[in-house]
Chain A
Amino acid sequence: MNKTTFSLLFLLLSPLILMVFHIIFVKLNKKFFKSKISNQNTAIFCELILNIPIIFIFYSLNKSFSAIAYAFLVYNSLGYAYFHFFNMSETARRIKILLEIKKNKTLKIENLTQNYKSDFMVKTRLQRLLELNQIKKINEKYFIKGKILLFAAIIIRFLKKTLNLENKTL
């Protein structure tokens, strides 16, 4: 196997490297550092910090500056997909519903809605958004602080319009 093939395989497997690094980081943080960083923030932090070794290794194997741009684009696209997968396990309502049913074997729909009241859902999310520094709270009112999720929200609205998905409500 030549160096280029090896470097491409390395890049293809980078989400697995990211996952192992993320698991170790979460466990170390829980045991030793005990920092109150949110689960989503740990995923973002691990994804970003791994850019350095992954791009460096890819560059070392290919010795060209276009390799840096290529590795940056591929790794971060895969890293973005990894973040969404992790985030799904953290926030997706459908996964939460499946896990609730699994826990109880069978579930009445009314019980499900009791466990999932909209005020609880909103409070949990507002807390997460505060921890992610995307919003701020002043005198019991919320305002926009960060631009990342706002940008994502605008892109998603655009995507919904383009794909004709607007019939689905909140």
Chain B
Amino acid sequence: MIWRIKKPQNEIVFLLFLFIIFPFLFLIFIFFINIFKNFTDNNLLFSTFLLYFSLSCAYIQTYPAARANAPSLQIVYFIYKSGKKGFSEEEIINKFNLNNLVYERVEDLIKENFIYQQDNSIILTQKGLILANIFRIYRKLYGLEFGQG
């Protein structure tokens, strides 16, 4: 409903507030009331929130794929649509264009304040540097090279 009326500027942060932060604050409020009124078991509240939290996490992690048009899923869909005829590599490549693949993502990163543009160059903001470091360390933990994008 909210998305159909007006899409928030920072969608992921808004999703986190909507699905995780607000419900968590509500849970704390209910816990406090329960201390005085003792209307239910605290474990029941905890288990309900945990179930809700896990399903919300799954939804939030699905959202970027829907928003950013995950190319792998697009490729699978093109191949599916081609049916018994199949799809060649060239036909798939022709379906994508560089403008959409890179520029849109660069625009998103600028909009979300992860990078900024100076003349024709792009530079990381402090926020972008933190995110880049998180992923660099995360990949290092596994002993893996950077993903190929």
- The chain A residues found within 8 Å of chain B, CB to CB, are 2, 4-5, 8, 11-12, 22-23, 26-27, 30, 39, 70, 73-75, 77-78, 80-81, 84-85, 88-99, 101-102, 105-110, 112-113, 116-119, 121-126, 128-129, 134-135, 138, 140-144, 149-150, 152-157, 159-160, 163-165, 168-170
CA distance A100 to B131 in the complex (A): 13
Give the B interface residue count (CB, 8 A): 81
Residue of A nearest to B57 (CB): A81
CA distance A73 to B30 in the complex (A): 24
Across the interface, A77 reaches (CB within 8 A) one of B57, B133, B147, namely B57
B5: min CB distance to chain A, Å: 9
Residue of A nearest to B87 (CB): A142
CA distance A32 to B17 in the complex (A): 44
Across the interface, B146 reaches (CB within 8 A) one of A96, A121, A135, namely A96
Residues 102 to 140 of chain B near chain A (Cβ within 8 Å): 102-106, 108-109, 114-115, 118, 120-124, 128-129, 131-133, 135-136, 138-139
Given A84-B61, A142-B87, A164-B4, A78 contacting B54 (CB threshold 8 A): yes
Contacts of A22 in B (CB 8 A): 142
Across the interface, B86 reaches (CB within 8 A) one of A12, A98, A138, namely A138
Which has the most chain A C-beta neighbours within 10 Å: B3, B64, B106? B106
Contacts of A159 in B (CB 8 A): 62-63, 66
Q: Are A153 and B129 in contact (CB under 8 A)?
A: no
B27 at the interface (CB under 8 A from A): no
Q: Are A95 and B54 in contact (CB under 8 A)?
A: no
Residues 4 to 50 of chain B near chain A (Cβ within 8 Å): 4, 7, 42-43, 46-47, 50
